[in-house]
Amino acid sequence: MTRILLIDDSKFTRSQLIKGLAGEGYSIIEAENGKEGLKILQSQHFECIITDLLMPEMDGQTLLRHLKESASDIPVVVVTADIQEDTKAMCLKLGAVEVLNKPPKEGTLKEAIQKALKTREA
């Protein structure tokens, strides 16, 4: 079973994303911010990470930097309300596989996860 770490400070957003992925056979673990996400990553294995950018304690860009510095091979999909092209470019530069606007359109998140999983296999 594919394990996904979902990092977002909004419980509502987490529940909506999980609802959108229902029936896909994913095991999804939740974290409220990047700091909590990194702590979970120290003790558990995941095939994919979905993260927001704007969060307290540790934002998504800082999380991406930590993952890049540690040479993590876990693909990351960013789901954010920040629609600026500079933000998207920065996330991709830091190693994100895909950057989606909130809320992602139906099917878009599933496609992004599949793309992320394929990049890990390659």
- Cα–Cα distance for residue pair 33/59, rounded to 1 Å: 7
pTM of the model: 0.95
Output the six-digit token pair for 61. 């860009």
Please tell me the predicted confidence (pLDDT) of residue 83. Answer: 83
pLDDT tens string 71-114: 999 999 999 998 899 999 999 999 999 999 999 987 999 999 99
DSSP string, 2-53: EEEEEE-S-HHHHHHHHHHTTTS-EEEEEESSHHHHHHHHHH---SEEEE-S
Check if the beta carbon of residue 50 is closer than 8 Å to that of residue 79: yes
The CATH classification number of 2-121 equals 3.40.50.2300
Q: Given a cut of 70, is residue 17 above it in pLDDT?
A: yes
Q: Where are the domains of the chain?
A: 2-121
**pLDDT, averaged across the chain:** 94
